[in-house]
Amino acid sequence: MNSAYPIPGVAAVIFNERNEVCLVQRNQPPSAGTWTFPGGKLELGEGIIEGLQREIREECNLEIQVLSPHQPLCVVERMDLECPEFPHHYIILDYLCVYAGGKLKASSDVCDARWVPYEQIRSFTSNTKTLDVAQMAWRKLQRL
């Protein structure tokens, strides 16, 4: 395993003005090939929002506005210590965000990045955690 402790991570559920959400296709284990929200591991000494913004710049070349920086949308735990290729334990803080600039392009740890209409997310993933977080974000966005 990469660490003797759970690894803190961040992810952004980013909506643009057309009600599309940013999805990325992972290029690294443990989720290589899957579509999810952009994000990654925090670095030592890095603030949560600072790390979130860095990860989004690195993975998809976007600038974001975090809508509730002091309150994550939710916390997701991903753990599989028995995974032969990549045992892992992540605690991921998901934040609701809106697009603030940049041109979407895949880079760093992703092989593809797309703006997907909210209604079409199921065409990209059947992962229940991802779908639940998307629905939670959509509902919160509609209330703002």
Using alpha carbons, select from 25, 17, 9, 12 the residue that is nearest to residue 101: 17
pTM for the full predicted model: 0.93
What is 7-134's CATH topology? Nucleoside Triphosphate Pyrophosphohydrolase (3.90.79)
pLDDT tens per residue across span 78-120:
887 877 777 889 999 999 999 999 999 998 789 999 999 999 9
Q: What is the pLDDT of residue 2?
A: 55
Helix ranges (H only) for 8-98 are 48-60
Q: Mind listing the pLDDT tens digit for each residue in 18-76?
A: 999 999 999 988 788 999 999 999 999 999 999 999 999 999 999 999 999 999 999 99
Structure tokens at 11: 């992810």
Helices (H), the chain: 48-60, 128-143
Q: Is 5 helix (H, G, I), strand (E, B) or coil?
A: coil
Residue 140 has a CB neighbour count (10 Å cut-off) of 15
